[in-house]
């Protein structure tokens, strides 16, 4: 299997890269500063670190050329001023459609999950205002996936902690998990996203996730 990871140098992305290599997969790690991934810990003939610009269609097209699965864990500013999450997904979707690629696993936020009345959590009156701007960016990314013809999965965690995997977490479809501790280790999130990619889980579904 060949996996392309966008956002490969972030706290989740770098763990997806390492976990995928540990499983023997081919990995294309895409980013502007991917040189940082090439060290003695993950020096591997199956790893291609592609330096590129997310808004350059040729760079993105090249990155996904051999991919069986695309994983997007794009980050950005938390105040909504940075449109990397939404416009980045738009570029990836466009190039996937041009190349006939179908499977993408993408990272969003908990606000895009359903509330009990089937509205979205981020539309609730008590949704924290400091998370609203980035939540709306996640919503735009989700809407672009929803409008596409792709086999997408959209992971929607709360707080992501920069810690390795424990394997002790719970997932749920379209709603927040129960129990929900509003946190997930980056390693566990990477593990769940990679498992969904390899096992064809949660196709065209949102996924809530939390550590126990």
Closest to 20 (Cα-Cα) out of 190, 140, 207: 190
Closest to 14 (Cα-Cα) out of 26, 24, 34, 201: 34
Query: Fold for domain 2-211?
Result: Rossmann fold (3.40.50)
pTM: 0.94
Please tell me the predicted confidence (pLDDT) of residue 38. Answer: 61
* pLDDT, tens digit, 9 for 90 and up, residues 102-154: 999 999 999 999 998 889 999 998 898 888 999 999 999 999 999 999 999 99
Q: What is the mean pLDDT of residues 69-76?
A: 93
Q: Using CB atoms within 10 Å of the CB of residue 48, give its burial: 0 to 12 exposed, 13 to 18 middle, 19+ buried.
A: middle
How many Cβ atoms are within 10 Å of 114's Cβ, its own excluded?
16
Kindly tell me if the per-residue pLDDT of 171 is higher than 60: yes
Count helices and strands (H / E) in the chain: 5, 10
Q: Where are the domains of the chain?
A: 2-211
- Strands across the sheet with 151-157, in order? 47-51, 26-31, 2-6, 69-72, 103-107, 151-157, 205-211, 169-173
Please tell me the predicted confidence (pLDDT) of residue 45. Answer: 86
Query: Which helix or strand (DSSP H or E) is residue 173 part of?
Result: strand 169-173
Q: Give CA–CA dist 121/160, Å, rounded.
A: 18
Q: Is the peptide bond before 156 cis (omega within 30 degrees of 0)?
A: no
Query: Which helix or strand (DSSP H or E) is residue 91 part of?
Result: helix 84-99
Task: Tell me the pLDDT of the chain averaged across its residues.
Answer: 93
* pLDDT, tens digit, 9 for 90 and up, residues 78-103: 666 677 889 999 999 999 999 999 99
Question: Can you read off the two tokens belonging to residue 168?
Answer: 């002790």
């Amino acid at each position: 299997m060949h996996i392309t990871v966008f956002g490969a140098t972030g706290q989740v992305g770098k763990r997806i890269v390492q976990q995928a290599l540990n499983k023997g997969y081919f990995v294309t790690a895409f980013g502007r500063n991917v040189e940082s991934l090439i060290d003695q810990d993950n020096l591997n003939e199956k790893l291609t670190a592609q330096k590129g610009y997310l808004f350059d269609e040729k760079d993105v097209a090249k990155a996904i050329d051999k991919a069986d699965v695309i994983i997007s864990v794009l980050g950005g500013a938390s105040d909504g001023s940075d449109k990397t999450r939404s416009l980045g997904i738009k570029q990836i979707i466009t190039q996937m459609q041009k190349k006939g690629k179908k499977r993408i696993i993408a990272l969003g936020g908990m606000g895009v999950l359903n509330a009990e009345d089937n509205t979205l959590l981020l539309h609730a009156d008590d949704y924290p205002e400091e998370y609203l701007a980035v939540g709306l960016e996640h919503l735009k990314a989700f809407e672009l996936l929803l409008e596409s013809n792709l086999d997408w999965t959209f992971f929607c965690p709360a707080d992501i902690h920069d810690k390795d995997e424990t394997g002790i977490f719970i997932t749920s479809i379209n709603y927040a998990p129960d129990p929900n501790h509003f946190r997930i280790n980056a390693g566990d999130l990477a593990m769940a996203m990679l498992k969904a990619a390899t096992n064809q889980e949660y196709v065209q579904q949102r996924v809530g996730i939390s550590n126990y």
